[in-house]
């Protein structure tokens, strides 16, 4: 019987008789409370709270209880949700930066999946998880500097979450993320090696791309892909280089480098190939393959009969800066390379066998001079002693 005195039907479906009788008893108690205007007792209130939304809605329809108020508290954002939102919200970043952020996000989620914590919230991700993530990356065989870069980008995610007051502490705070110099991964790419690679390149554009890194010292692939023919000043033997990496620093978006003699034949070859109706950009065929040029370079190096060296493009640039620093003032060299003396010393300049051999010869010559003059000096000293005796 409903509150209006009319018989109502409430179907429970297939349930045991005992459960149906218990339900009926609670329902009658609820109806009695509603008739006299009292709140249901604690037992009935607890029973109401445990009903499914569907059954509770049926009781609301019969005016036996009030509708449930939807929980207004938003669900705590998960690591997966927030990191994707963070990347999607970055409208002003370079494609390469976006790729690296997405790479870090994929690895962070892969780590959580391995830990069976796919839906972990930001606030549940602790400093312990941050350190465990670092160890997980190391176990996958990544180098220390690579791991530091990945953790640095992960720290970006959580720094932004803290700015929105979604977390109180950044779990990556205190972790070493500064990239240190790794001498073991530096290689000198000699002119002889460079010529072999150039001979193995499939086309003039590939030879120019390689030459711009090895002899121009350009950050590859980002800087060569921005190079336009209008940036090449044939008359004044200079090239204007645009640098995405340093453009956020005032006055460092571009730099002027010499049109080195080693670059000229490769620039000429590409210019001649393009003809009078040539492209605006110097490099045209590989403009949309930034992520893949490293893989292609490895194949070319192997075709040249050489073993691919670590940090393929970086060591070409490093070798060039080392060569130039032997000949020209360091302030000029770092200006051409677009870095600083400190960065050059820490990450670029190499100890070379040529310098070592030259020091040995110079040292030997110096030693010979000392020996040659030693008897005369000794004789003079003894003569002086005799005179003073």
Most confident among 28-42, 254-268, 351-365, 370-384 (mean pLDDT):
254-268
Q: What is the pLDDT of residue 29?
A: 86
Q: Bigger pLDDT: 270 or 22?
A: 270
Q: What is the pLDDT of residue 389?
A: 42
| Token code pair at residue 215 | 């002899």
Residue 181 above 70 pLDDT? no
Residue 262, CA distances (Å) to 125, 145, 284, 315 in order: 53, 32, 21, 17
- Find, among 102, 103, 79, the residue nearest to 167 by Cα: 79
Residue 56, CA distances (Å) to 28, 31, 136, 198 in order: 15, 14, 47, 77
Convert the pLDDT of each residue in 313-344 to its tens digit: 999 999 999 999 999 999 999 999 988 777 76
DSSP per-residue string spanning 222-290 = HHHHH-BGGGEETTTTEEEEE-TTTTTSTT-SEEEEE--TTTHHHHHHHHHHH-TT--SBS--TTTT-T
Residue 73 above 50 pLDDT? yes
- Which CATH architecture group holds 79-180? Orthogonal Bundle (1.10)
CATH superfamily, with its number, for domain 189-308: Intergrase catalytic core (1.10.443.10)
Convert the pLDDT of each residue in 83-121 to its tens digit: 999 999 998 888 888 999 999 999 999 999 999 998 999
Q: What is the pLDDT of residue 55?
A: 85
Q: What is the mean pLDDT of residues 166-192?
A: 87
Element (H, E) at 332: helix 330-337
CA 67 distance to own-chain centroid: 50
Kindly report each contact of residues 231-240 with a partner whose C-beta sits within 8 Å and lies 24 or more positions away, as own/partner: 231/282, 232/259, 232/267, 232/282, 233/259, 234/259, 239/263
Q: What is the mean pLDDT of residues 232-250?
A: 87
Helix (H, G, I), strand (E, B) or coil at 46: helix
Give the side-chain half-sphere CA count within 13 A for 360.
Answer: 6
Confidence of residue 382 (pLDDT cuts 50, 70, 90): very low
Q: What is the pLDDT of residue 66?
A: 84
Residue 114, CA distances (Å) to 8, 120, 135, 142, 273 in order: 54, 12, 13, 17, 52
DSSP per-residue string spanning 170-216 = -TTTTS--PPPP-GGG-----HHHHHHHHHH-SSHHHHHHHHHHHTT
Q: What is the pLDDT of residue 321?
A: 92
Q: What is the pLDDT of residue 373?
A: 53
| Token code pair at residue 277 | 């109706």
Q: Bigger pLDDT: 11 or 80?
A: 80
Strand partners, 255: 241
Could you say which DSSP state residue 125 is in?
Answer: -
Question: In this structure, are residues 221 and 324 in contact, taking their beta carbons and an 8 Å threshold?
Answer: no
Convert the pLDDT of each residue in 187-211 to its tens digit: 899 999 999 999 999 999 999 999 9
Question: In this structure, are residues 296 and 241 in contact, taking their beta carbons and an 8 Å threshold?
Answer: no
- Find, among 210, 220, 206, the residue nearest to 189 by Cα: 210
Q: What are the residue ranges spanned by the domains of the chain?
A: 1-71, 79-180, 189-308
First to last CA, the chain: 140
Q: Give the ranges where 38-143 is alpha helix by DSSP (H).
A: 42-50, 53-61, 79-88, 95-114, 127-139
Biggest CA pair distance of the chain:
143
Give the least confident one: 8-17, 84-93, 309-318, 354-363: 354-363
Q: What are phi and psi of 369, to 5 degrees?
A: -65, -40
Residue 238 above 90 pLDDT? yes
Report the chain's mean pLDDT, rounded to a whole number. 85
């Amino acid at each position: 019987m409903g509150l209006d005195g009319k018989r109502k039907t409430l179907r429970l479906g297939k349930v045991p008789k005992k459960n149906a009788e218990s339900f009926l008893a609670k329902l009658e108690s609820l109806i009695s409370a509603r008739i006299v205007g009292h709140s249901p007792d604690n037992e009935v209130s607890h029973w109401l709270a445990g009903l499914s939304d569907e059954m509770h809605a049926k009781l609301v329809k019969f005016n036996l209880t009030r509708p449930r108020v939807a929980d207004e508290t938003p669900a705590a954002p998960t690591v997966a949700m927030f990191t994707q939102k963070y990347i999607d919200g970055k409208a002003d970043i370079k494609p390469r930066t976006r790729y690296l952020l997405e790479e870090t996000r994929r690895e962070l989620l892969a780590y959580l999946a391995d830990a069976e914590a796919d839906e972990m919230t930001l606030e549940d991700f602790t400093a312990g998880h941050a350190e465990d993530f670092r160890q997980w990356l190391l176990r996958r065989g990544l180098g220390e500097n690579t791991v530091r870069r990945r953790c640095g980008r992960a720290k970006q995610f959580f720094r932004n979450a803290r700015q929105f007051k979604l977390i109180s502490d950044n779990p990556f705070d205190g972790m070493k993320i500064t990239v240190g110099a790794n001498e073991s991964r530096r290689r000198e790419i000699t002119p002889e090696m460079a010529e072999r690679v150039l001979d193995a390149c499939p086309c003039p554009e590939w030879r120019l791309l390689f030459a711009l890194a090895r002899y121009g010292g350009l950050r590859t692939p980002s800087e060569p892909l921005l190079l336009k023919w209008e940036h090449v000043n044939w008359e004044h033997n200079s090239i204007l280089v645009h640098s995405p990496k340093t453009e956020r620093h005032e006055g460092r978006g571009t730099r002027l480098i010499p049109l080195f003699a080693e670059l000229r034949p490769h620039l000429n070859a590409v210019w001649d190939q393009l003809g009078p109706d040539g492209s605006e950009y110097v490099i045209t065929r590989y403009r949309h393959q930034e992520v893949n040029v490293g893989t292609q370079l490895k194949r070319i190096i192997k075709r040249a009969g050489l073993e691919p060296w670590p940090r393929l493009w970086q060591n070409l640039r490093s070798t060039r800066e080392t060569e130039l620093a032997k000949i020209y003032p360091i302030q000029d060299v770092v200006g051409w390379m677009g870095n600083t003396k400190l960065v050059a010393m820490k990450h670029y300049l190499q100890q070379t066998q040529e310098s070592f051999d030259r020091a040995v010869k110079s040292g030997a010559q110096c030693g010979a001079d000392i020996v040659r003059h030693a008897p005369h000096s000794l004789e003079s000293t003894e003569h002086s002693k005799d005179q003073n005796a």
